Structure 1
Amino acid sequence: MSDQKCKTCRRAGEKLFLKGEKCFTPKCIFEKRPSPPGKALSERKHRSNLTEYGIQLKEKQKLRNVYGLSEKQFRRYVKEAGNETSGSPVEHLFERLERRLDNVVYRLGLAQSRTQARQMVSHGHIMVGKRKLTIPSYQVKKGEIVSVREGSRTSPLFTAAKEKMGKHPIPNWIAADALKLSAEVKGSPKYDKNELGFNFQSVIEFYSR
């Protein structure tokens, strides 16, 4: 039986890369069974005939699952983004999601997936400045240094971390130092709809109903 992450991708109708490197291999279940689990053939054929609400719901579920958030957490981020007095809710939502500590660890290439990054943070492997933080939702700030805790660097989790960081594409708002297994937050994440596979505006509209 395929696990829940694979079923999530099949429901979304596309790969969300929730299992990291395994999603790029022939073992990826989505490659073998891309249709939604438990759906009759007739339902699958009409999958593209979604209403506007259905499209918005699908985008919301995709984004929430990619960042690994509960509905309560995700709804709070959307509400906070909408309460900002300047800028667009889309930009503020994107920034809040990207500034999560677990996401930064993932963006650095230290983890294969955001799920693994969340575990690294929760288990005390990650430092922010001189503090060990175990809160995956912590919002990193400009000027802060994110690094692997000294005592964790010999862990099997990080044996190939330097090599991975050196090859991993890292956002330009983060300055990484692969040799030190650390990175400095240099600025703010910038939303660019042309670089992302999600419709953030549909998500905002879903919660505005």
Structure 2
Amino acid sequence: MTKRAESKYKINRRLGANLWGRAKSPVNKREYGPGQHGQRRKGKPTDFGIQLMAKQKLKGYYGNIGEKAFRKYYEEAVRRKGDTSENLIELLERRLDAVVYRMKFAVTPFASRQFVNHGHVTVNGKKLNIPSYIVKDNDVIEVKETSKQLAAVLDASQSGEREVPEYIEVDHRAMKGKYLRAPKLSDVPYPVQMEPNLVVEFYSR
């Protein structure tokens, strides 16, 4: 397991938010940050601090994406026509690991990234082990035949913690789904409020 996966709930406590809406998140019991200084009173955040927090929440939600990769998503969102903040959400939601998570083939974004990395997923019949692969409209994502009975996959698909969004269709008996269309921000079932407009402001300073 990666260090990122081991420390995923530290992200929750540092940001003071249950990013994935999970019942076992420690932020449900301890809303203060981790470490010996976690309970110190915090002053009023600056505009920069608010923008930085919005960026950290969005990065953290998608499995703590690295800064270099995340900035590339922002630059691509700027390059595309339309609203930059909506474009950014679309790009993040098209990541293969994000789609696998949305289809409930993995219980967390961290588990989804690892699941893809280990070669358990096919896209349009071809094995793909690149979590950052950008899924296209009508692409078919399927769990490999030899992986369909893995306990982790079955547990994730049967979990009642979250629902599959409308821009994706899934058959959990076949462990197969289709990415129908790109979502708008309002379509994405975030458990906490995400503010990609503040992320755009952060990078465009």
TM bracket (short chain) = 0.7 to 0.9
Please point out which of 69, 72, 75 is paired with 2:68: 72
* Matches of 1:207 and 1:75, distance apart in 2: 8
Could you list the runs of 4 or more consecutive aligned residues of structure 1 that deviate by over 3 angstroms after TM superposition?
159-164, 193-196
State the match for 2:137 in structure 1.
142
Q: Which one has the largest radius of gyration?
A: 1
- CA deviation after TM superposition for structure 1 residue 123, in Å: 0.5
- Structure 1, unaligned runs of 5 or more: none
In structure 1, give the amino acid aligned to 2:107: Q
**C-alpha displacement of 1:172:** 1.1
Alignment-derived partner of residue 125 in structure 2 = 130
Distance 1:55 1:162, change over 3 A: closer
Q: How far apart are residue 74 of structure 1 and its match?
A: 0.5
Judged with a 3 Å threshold, the aligned counterparts in structure 2 of structure 1 residues 138 and 193 are, in CA distance, closer, same or farther, namely closer
Q: Which runs of 5+ in 2 are unaligned?
A: 1-5
Residue correspondences, number: 196
Q: 1:16 aligns with which of 19, 36, 39?
A: 19
Query: Which residues of 2 match residues 1-209 of structure 1 at below 5 A?
Result: 4-17=7-20, 23-25=22-24, 28-37=25-34, 38-39=36-37, 41=39, 44-47=40-43, 49-68=44-63, 69-84=65-80, 86-160=81-155, 163-164=158-159, 168-192=162-186, 196=190, 197-209=193-205
For normalisation by structure 1, the TM-score amounts to 0.85
Residue range with higher mean Cα deviation, 189-198 or 141-150: 189-198
- Residue by residue, what CA displacement relative to the aligned partner does 1:54-95 show, whole Å, maximum 9, x if unpaired? 0000111111111120011101101110111x2110111000
**Cα separation, partners in 2 of 1:64 and 1:40, compared to 1, 3 Å:** closer
Contact 2:165–2:187, Cα closer than 8 Å, also in 1: no
Q: Matches of 1:5 and 1:145 in 2, distance apart?
A: 29
C-alpha separation between the residues in 2 aligned to 1:195 and 1:152? Answer: 27
Whole-Å Cα distance in 1 between the matches of residues 49 and 131 of structure 2?
30
Aligned to 2:3: none
Distance in 2 (alpha carbons) for counterparts of 1:40 and 1:180: 45
Quote the offset at 1:177 in angstroms: 1.4
| SS, match of residue 192 in structure 1 | helix
Moved more, 154-163 or 30-39: 154-163
